[in-house]
Amino acid sequence: MSTMNVVKKQGPGRGIEITTDAIPEPAPDEVLIKVNIAGICGTDLHIYRWDAWAESRVKPPLIIGHEFIGTIYALGKNVKHLRIGQRVSAEGHITCGRGITGRRMFETWYQCESFLLKNGKVIDPIITHVLDLEDVEKGFMEMEANKAIKVLLKVSK
């Protein structure tokens, strides 16, 4: 069985763990992505802290890292429009802007950015730290100390 390095919330309580997990096979309409860089964001910080928000939404064990850059490693049998080796990225907050969910998400981000700018808050640079995977704990510490808004982890070389 082949394995991959993951950042995983194993159970309730503060903290996170670097461990290995089995490399999954993609379902027929999915792709498997080899992650090169993963972002630690506010959602991950909630999960790390295990606050009320995380406790009410997250069911450990859970591999974190929903913002990433990588390459397609394997294709599901129905995937015809993509190719192995193709560079891809994912960020769960970008929507089409159509439909009730898409409009709400877009309006929320726009209002947040407008509020920050009107009140003299600096929104650049958002990414201030790029760390090796083994330094994931340091990334969370920097975010908790308000020294970083988003941290990038080098997952594979």
pLDDT value at residue 94: 54
pLDDT at 131: 86
pLDDT at 28 over 90: yes
Segment 49-98, tens digit of pLDDT: 999 999 999 999 999 988 888 899 999 999 999 999 999 887 665 555 55
Q: Is residue 100 part of a domain?
A: no
Q: Domain range holding 40?
A: 3-93+124-154
Q: Is residue 98 part of a domain?
A: no
Output the CA torsion sign for 52, 15, 151, 85.
negative
Identify the CATH number of the domain in which residue 86 sits. 3.90.180.10
Burial of 39 (C-beta count, 10 Å sphere; 0-12/13-18/19+)? buried
**51/49 Cα distance (integer angstroms):** 5
- For the annotated catalytic residues, the residue numbers are 43, 46
The answer to whether residue 119 sits within a structural domain is: no
Tell if the pTM clears 0.85, that is, is over it.
no
